[in-house]
Amino acid sequence: MKILEQNIKLGEITVRTEDLNDLWTLYNIISKGDIVNALTQRRVVLSEGSPGERKRMKLTLDVEDVVFHEFSNRLRIKGTIIEGPDDFVSYGSYHTFNIEINQTLKIKKDKWLKQDLRRVKETSKFSSNFTLLIIAIESGLANVFLITNYNKHKIATINKNIPGKRYEQSMRNKYLKEFFEEIKVVLETNLTDKGINLIIICGPGSIKEHFIKFLKENSNKDYTSKMRSILASSGTESAVYEILKSGVLAKLKDKIKALEDTEKVEQIMILFGKNPDLIAIGIDEITNAIRIGAVEQLLITDTLIRGASKSKKLKVEEIINSLEKIGGKFKILNTNHPAGEQLEGLGSIVAILRYK
CA–CA distance, 117 with 29 (Å, rounded to integer): 9
Which of residues 252, 283, 298 is at a domain's end? Answer: 252
Q: 178-222 pLDDT, tens per residue? A: 999 999 999 988 886 667 889 999 999 999 999 999 999 998 777
Quote the pLDDT of residue 76.
Answer: 96
Q: Do 286 and 301 fall within a single domain?
A: yes
Q: What is the pLDDT of residues 120-145, one digit of tens each?
A: 877 756 655 678 899 999 999 999 99
Whether residue 127 lies inside any domain: the answer is: no
- Clarify whether residues 90 and 202 are in a common domain: no
Identify whether residues 190 and 113 lie together within a single domain: no
Task: Read off φ and ψ for residue 167, nearest 5 degrees.
Answer: -85, 160
In angstroms, rounded to a whole number, what is the distance separating the alpha carbons of residues 260 and 254? 8
Judge whether 112 lies within some domain: yes
Q: Which domain holds residue 30?
A: 2-122
- Total number of domains in the chain: 3
Q: What angle do CA 318, 323, 328 make, to 5 degrees?
A: 155
Q: What is the dihedral of CA 50, 53, 58, 63, to 10 degrees?
A: 70
| CATH code assigned at 227 | 3.30.420.60
- Residue stretches of the chain with pLDDT short of 70: 47, 49, 70-71, 124-129, 192-194, 307
